[in-house]
Structure 1
Amino acid sequence: MPRSQLIEMTRSLIEYGRKDSMELADEVVRIPASSYTDPEIFEREKKQIFRRLPLMVAPSCELPNPGDYKAMDICGVPLLLTRQKDGTVAAMLNMCSHRGNPIASGTGNASRFTCGYHGWTFKNDGALIGVASPQDFGAIDKAAHCLTHFPVYEKAGLIWVTLDPNSKLDIADYLCGYDDLLEAFGFESWHLFSQRTLSGPNWKTAYDGYLDFYHLPVLHANTFGADFYNRANYFAFGPHQRLSTPSQFAIKVSGEDDMKIDLTEVADEDLSYEVLVQGVWTIFPHISIASFYGGGLRGAMISQLFPGDTVGESYTTQFYVMEHEPDDEEKIKAAHEQFDFLEIVVRDEDYKTGKRQHEALQSGLLKEVLFGRNERGGQVFHQWVEKLANASDAELVDIFAQESIPEAAE
Structure 2
Amino acid sequence: MSHQDLINMTRSLVEHGAADTMEYADDIVRIPASSYTDPEMFEREKKQIFRRLPLMVAPSCELPEPGDYKALDICGVPLLLTRQKDGSVGAFLNMCKHRGNPLVEGTGNATRMVCGYHGWTYKNDGSLVGVASPQDFGAVDKASLCLTRFPVYEKSGLIWATLDPDSTLDIADYLCGYDELLGAFGFDGWTLFAQRTLPGPNWKTAYDGYLDFYHLPVLHKDTFGADFYNRANYFSFGPHQRLSTPSKYAIKVQGEDDQKIDLTQMADEDIPYEVLVQGVWTIFPHISIASFYGGGQRGAMISQLFPGDEVGESYTTQYYVMENKPETEADVKSAHEQFDFLEIVVRDEDYKTGKRQHEALQSGLLKEVLFGRNERGGQVFHQWVERLTNASDDELKDIFAAECKQAAE
Q: Distance in 1 between matches of 2:148 and 2:406?
A: 36
Give CA-to-partner distance per residue, 1:60-80, whole Å, 9 cap, x none: 000000000000000000000
1:277 alignment counterpart: 277
Matches within 5 A, 1:113-152: 113-152=113-152
Q: Distance in 1 between matches of 2:74 and 2:19?
A: 45
Q: Contact 1:253–1:296 at 8 Å: present in 2 too?
A: no
Shift of 1:407: 7.6
Report the secondary structure of 2:394's partner residue: helix
Shift of 1:406: 6.2
Report the secondary structure of 2:147's partner residue: coil
Report the secondary structure of 2:159's partner residue: strand
Runs of 4+ in 1 over 2 A off after TM superposition: 404-408
Q: What letter matches 2:398 in structure 1? A: D
2:75 alignment counterpart: 75
Matches within 5 A, 1:230-249: 230-249=230-249
1:164 alignment counterpart: 164
Q: What letter matches 2:356 in structure 1? A: R
Q: Contact 1:191–1:325 at 8 Å: present in 2 too?
A: yes
Shift of 1:255: 1.3
Shift of 1:404: 3.6
1:353 alignment counterpart: 353
Report the secondary structure of 2:298's partner residue: strand
1:226 alignment counterpart: 226
2:181 alignment counterpart: 181
- Using structure 1 for the length normalisation, give the TM-score: 0.99
Matches within 5 A, 1:267-346: 267-346=267-346
Moved more, 251-260 or 85-94: 251-260
Shift of 1:405: 7.0
Shift of 1:296: 3.2
Q: What letter matches 1:251 in structure 2? A: I
Q: Contact 2:301–2:319 at 8 Å: present in 1 too?
A: yes
Q: Contact 1:256–1:295 at 8 Å: present in 2 too?
A: no
User: Measured at CA, do residues 110 and 60 of structure 1 come closer, stay the same or move farther in structure 2, by a change above 3 Å?
Assistant: same
- Using structure 2 for the length normalisation, give the TM-score: 0.99
Query: For structure 2, which runs of at least 5 residues remain unmatched after alignment?
Result: none
Give the superposed CA RMSD.
1.0
Report the secondary structure of 2:357's partner residue: helix
Q: What letter matches 1:169 in structure 2? A: L
Q: Distance in 1 between matches of 2:72 and 2:407?
A: 37
Report the secondary structure of 1:55's partner residue: strand
User: Measured at CA, do residues 82 and 256 of structure 1 come closer, stay the same or move farther in structure 2, by a change above 3 Å?
Assistant: same
Report the secondary structure of 1:207's partner residue: helix
Q: Distance in 1 between matches of 2:210 and 2:2?
A: 23
1:394 alignment counterpart: 394
User: Measured at CA, do residues 406 and 144 of structure 1 come closer, stay the same or move farther in structure 2, by a change above 3 Å?
Assistant: closer
Q: Distance in 1 between matches of 2:407 and 2:220?
A: 33
Shift of 1:37: 0.0
Q: Contact 1:68–1:108 at 8 Å: present in 2 too?
A: yes
Query: For structure 1, which runs of at least 5 residues remain unmatched after alignment?
Result: none
2:379 alignment counterpart: 379
Q: Distance in 2 between matches of 1:117 and 1:250?
A: 57
2:364 alignment counterpart: 364
Matches within 5 A, 1:59-74: 59-74=59-74
Q: Distance in 1 between matches of 2:172 and 2:406?
A: 16
Q: What letter matches 2:328 in structure 1? A: D
Report the secondary structure of 2:319's partner residue: strand
Q: Contact 2:286–2:306 at 8 Å: present in 1 too?
A: yes
Report the secondary structure of 2:396's partner residue: helix
Q: Distance in 1 between matches of 2:333 and 2:39?
A: 43
Q: Distance in 1 between matches of 2:233 and 2:252?
A: 21
Give CA-to-partner distance per residue, 1:227-283, whole Å, 9 cap, x none: 000000000000000000000001111111111000001101111211100000000
Give CA-to-partner distance per residue, 1:331-354, whole Å, 9 cap, x none: 000000000000000000000000
Matches within 5 A, 1:27-66: 27-66=27-66
Shift of 1:50: 0.1
Q: Distance in 1 between matches of 2:283 and 2:394?
A: 22
Identity fraction in percent: 82
Q: Distance in 2 between matches of 1:364 and 1:130?
A: 56
Q: What letter matches 2:203 in structure 1? A: W
